[in-house]
């Protein structure tokens, strides 16, 4: 178990690594320019989320090479995502590496010993979550704070409810998120996560939730990512109704509407998502983890409330009629 002094040393090391990356990114002009999907207006360093995969590597060496297939998959998906950030790779190359990384995760889970249909379920869950995370990474603080909450919740479950993974891994990833939030959760962010960050942290969190589900047999733990899932799913749904190309860049997410059309402070929006998901996680841990029926009913209620909120805030015309992004 990582104690206070080693944790401080790791935290300082991660800060140094992040600052070193900033120097590299600045030298090689690895920046994020505002585009059709962006909610920011200024050029900012891209790829600060590289710290998540570096944290995974630190854990790998400190733990005596634990989770080798998962870590290999994490590094592969981080490297290809970083190259895509910098060079914009061919989709076939990028998706091929993503698939290999996911299969390595499945092997680490020992999923190939289960019936074949579990592979389909897991593939939908993993790919869907990674894409949702990538889509949701659009304003200061949202990915870093939301992910830190997920890791903290998983740590609590691991320590107080059921042991399903390495607490040291959760601690190291949590420390990397603290470092990232220090530079990103601010009015003028020093860096953005980039695909390397959003994809990597999604890969990590999916791995952990997958471990938890496999250990407990309880799919209710998917609710640890419910609010991100609802924003992504309802946005895709409304875009399909408006007959828009769901693969094109856009600013149709609820958080983007709040940040852009409503001009709500980005950090306030990020905090709102954090607070709502904190409520969901608390209800899940205290009341829902033993009953899938209660989990389904709770999910239906939250979904209905969120849909009503979107109609109340954005309006029926904005949600259902074609509009420019």
Separation between Cα atoms, residue 59 and residue 66, nearest integer Å: 8
Find out whether 200 and 248 touch, Cβ atoms under 8 Å.
no
- Select the more confidently predicted residue: 58 or 292: 58
Rounded to an integer, what is the distance from CA 265 to the centroid of its chain?
Answer: 21
Of 106, 130, 102, the residue nearest 118 (C-alpha)? 106
| Helix, strand, or coil (residue 29) | coil
pLDDT attached to residue 89:
87
Separation between Cα atoms, residue 138 and residue 251, nearest integer Å: 9
Q: What does the pLDDT average to over 229-238?
A: 96
pLDDT attached to residue 33:
67
| Helix, strand, or coil (residue 58) | helix
3-state SS, one letter per residue, for 146-208:
HHHHHHHHHHHHHHHHCCCCCHHHHHHHHHHHHHHHHHHCCCCCCECCHHHHHHHHHHHHHHH
Find out whether 164 and 211 touch, Cβ atoms under 8 Å.
yes
Separation between Cα atoms, residue 128 and residue 120, nearest integer Å: 12
How much is the pTM?
0.95
DSSP β-ladder status, 31-32 and 44-45: antiparallel
Find out whether 170 and 155 touch, Cβ atoms under 8 Å.
yes
Return the H-helix or E-strand segment holding 31: strand 31-32
Cα angle, residue 300 at apex, residues 299 and 302 outer, rounded to 5°: 65
The pair of structure tokens assigned to 321 is 């009629």
pLDDT attached to residue 32:
77
Find out whether 138 and 192 touch, Cβ atoms under 8 Å.
no
Question: Taken in order 224, 225, 229, 231, is the CA torsion positive or negative?
Answer: positive
Separation between Cα atoms, residue 85 and residue 46, nearest integer Å: 8
| Helix, strand, or coil (residue 44) | strand
Separation between Cα atoms, residue 133 and residue 2, nearest integer Å: 28
Rounded to an integer, what is the distance from CA 246 to the centroid of its chain?
Answer: 20
Separation between Cα atoms, residue 158 and residue 266, nearest integer Å: 32
Q: How confident is the model at residue 290 (pLDDT cuts 50, 70, 90)?
A: confident
DSSP code at position 191: B
Separation between Cα atoms, residue 253 and residue 164, nearest integer Å: 33
Separation between Cα atoms, residue 129 and residue 151, nearest integer Å: 15
pLDDT for residue 140 is more than 60 = yes
Least confident among 205-219, 227-241, 246-260:
246-260
pLDDT attached to residue 217:
93
Separation between Cα atoms, residue 196 and residue 18, nearest integer Å: 13
The proportion of the chain whose per-residue pLDDT surpasses 90, expressed as a percent, equals 86
Q: What is the pLDDT of residues 21-60, one digit of tens each?
A: 999 999 999 987 655 455 555 678 999 999 999 999 999 9
What is the rounded end-to-end Cα distance, in angstroms, of the chain?
49
Rounded to an integer, what is the distance from CA 67 to the centroid of its chain?
Answer: 20
Contacts of 107 by beta carbon, 8 Å cutoff, 6+ apart: 69
């Amino acid at each position: 178990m990582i104690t206070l002094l080693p944790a401080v040393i790791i935290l300082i090391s991660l800060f140094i690594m992040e600052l070193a990356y900033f120097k590299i990114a600045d030298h090689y002009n690895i920046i994020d320019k505002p585009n059709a999907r962006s909610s920011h207006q200024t050029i900012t360093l891209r790829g600060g989320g590289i710290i998540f995969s570096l944290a995974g590597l630190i854990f790998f060496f400190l733990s005596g090479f634990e989770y080798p297939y998962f870590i290999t998959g994490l590094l592969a998906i981080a490297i290809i995502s970083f190259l895509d950030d910098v060079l914009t790779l061919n989709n076939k190359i990028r998706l091929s590496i993503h698939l290999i990384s996911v299969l390595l995760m499945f092997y680490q889970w020992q999923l190939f010993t289960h019936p074949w249909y579990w592979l389909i379920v897991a593939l939908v869950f993993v790919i869907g979550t990674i894409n949702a995370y990538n889509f949701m990474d659009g304003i200061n603080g949202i990915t870093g704070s939301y992910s830190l909450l997920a890791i903290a919740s998983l740590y609590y479950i691991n320590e107080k409810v059921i042991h399903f993974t390495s607490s040291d891994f959760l601690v190291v990833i949590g420390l990397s998120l603290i470092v990232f939030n220090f530079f990103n959760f601010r009015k003028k962010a020093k860096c953005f996560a980039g695909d390397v960050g959003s994809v990597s942290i999604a890969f990590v969190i999916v791995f952990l939730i997958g471990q938890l589900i496999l250990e407990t047999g309880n799919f209710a733990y998917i609710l640890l990512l419910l609010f991100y899932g609802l924003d992504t799913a309802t946005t895709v749904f409304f875009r399909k109704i408006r007959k828009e190309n769901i693969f094109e860049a856009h600013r149709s997410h609820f958080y983007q509407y709040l940040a852009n059309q409503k001009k709500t402070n980005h950090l306030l929006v990020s905090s709102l998502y954090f607070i709502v998901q904190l409520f969901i996680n608390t209800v899940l841990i205290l009341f829902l983890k033993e009953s899938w029926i209660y989990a389904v009913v709770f999910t239906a209620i939250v979904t209905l409330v969120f849909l009503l909120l979107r109609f109340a805030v954005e309006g029926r015309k904005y949600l259902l009629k074609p509009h420019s992004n």
